[in-house]
Amino acid sequence: MAKFDDLSRLLEKFVKDGLPGCACAVAKEGKTLFEGYFGYADIEDKRPVTEDTVFRLFSMTKVIICTAAMMLYERGKFLLNEPIYEYFPEYRDTHVLITQPNGNQVIRKARNPMLIKHAFMMAVGLPYPFFDSPVAREMEKVMNDLTQKHGKYDIVTEVRAMASVPVAFEPGTRWLYGYGHDIVAGLIQLVSGKTVGQFLQEEIFDPLGMKDTGYRYRDDIESRMVSLYKREENGEMKKIDGMFDEYHKPDAIYEAGGAGLYSTVKDYLKFSQMLANGGVYNGERIIGRKTIDLMRTNHLNAVQLQDFTNSYLAGYGYGLGVRTLISKAEGHSNGSEGEFGWTGALGTYVSIDPQEKASIVYMHQMMPNMEEYHHLRVRAVANGCL
């Protein structure tokens, strides 16, 4: 059986092999079993990674957003099989961009409506605007037009405007990583009557005591933010500006669903433990256990699983905003079937295992993030310790 000393040695090796710094914690049944901080949050300033170091979550924002939205589902605010146009009428007229065998592109009206569940499960056909595709370029144009018109704008304004973009496939038929959870964030704001950040603060962060998590800089958060490094081909680390850090500024308005939150390992561990323990943390119920079970059920069909699966995600399906382990053998994983979580573009990772009531949170900030090398080793060692 692995021991937590083995996890410490692994994380020390990550830093020795060139990672600027990293942090990791493992908890079970509300009790922290391991907490470790290694290397530097800023190499030049010799500022170490500590329990107070703040990381950009990027796509680990998605797990929080989808949990928040499912809390509203539990309150009867929407149904998963309802068309999005019931809430955003602009989506009543969805069109699909089709590339014909000769390369010509035609646009036709979608046969089926885009459903709310399609946004959760990444089946709306809208990628991210920074992807290289005809649909992505249309999305980028929409964002540029919004900036010219409004300067700063909120997520609901953007979601409404994105309805004009022809999608990459018939809604619900394929899986394509991208804008779905931003639509979910817009839905949160629309049906709750609060900004996304306000809803998260009141319903999740405050009850769980997540004092270092949010969209906007406050108090000393900015000074505790980890620096972002780009790993050059020769292995040297070059400090670069934090991507999308402008949305952390106190005067920012935009609150995305797919990225945008910052947090610490300790804060995110509380959130992950709440989900691992049936929606309850320190006696505070946030969400129902059966709703979590729905989130971590695979929602993809065979065609969509082919779109989704790669070597990093081997053995996983995709639920409502989370990967979910459906085959330990195919995933080469010593975790439990039904273990779920997600990853952030700069190297953050969460694994939540309701069967064990355990969770793993790991964070670093580097481009490329080398997620497969780092995360799957952390998963193997941490699960071995359980």
Cβ atoms of residues 44 and 216 within 8 Å: no
Q: Return the pLDDT at 104.
A: 87
Looking at the chain, how many residues does it have?
386
Angle of helix 155-162 relative to helix 134-150, nearest 10 degrees, comes to 130
List per-residue pLDDT tens for the chain, 386 residues long: 789 999 999 999 999 999 999 999 999 999 999 999 999 999 999 999 999 999 999 999 999 999 999 999 999 999 999 999 999 999 999 999 998 888 888 999 999 999 999 999 999 999 999 899 999 999 999 999 999 999 999 999 999 999 999 999 999 999 999 999 999 999 999 999 999 999 999 999 999 999 999 999 999 999 999 999 999 988 889 999 988 999 999 999 999 999 999 999 999 999 999 999 999 999 999 999 999 999 999 999 999 999 999 999 999 999 999 999 999 999 999 999 999 999 999 999 999 999 999 999 999 999 999 999 999 999 999 999 99
Residue 13's CB: how many other CB atoms inside 10 A? 12
Kindly tell me the sign of the dihedral angle through the C-alpha atoms of 269, 354, 280, 215.
Answer: positive
Q: Return the pLDDT at 9.
A: 98
Q: How far apart are CA 190 and CA 56, in angstroms?
A: 26
Give start and end residues of each alpha helix (H) in 17-115. Answer: 61-74
> Tell me, what amino acid is at 324?
T
Q: Return the pLDDT at 64.
A: 99
323: three-class secondary structure by DSSP = strand
CATH of domain 4-72+195-385: 3.40.710.10
Spatial CA neighbour of 313 closest among 341, 278, 352, 282: 341
Nearby residues of 165 by Cβ (< 8 Å), 6 or more positions away = 126, 135, 138, 139, 142
Q: How far apart are the first and last CA of the chain?
A: 9
Q: Return the pLDDT at 102.
A: 87
DSSP secondary structure code for residue 278 in this structure: T
Instruction: Provide the whole-model pTM.
Output: 0.98
Cβ atoms of residues 359 and 26 within 8 Å: yes
In the chain, domain spans: 4-72+195-385, 79-192
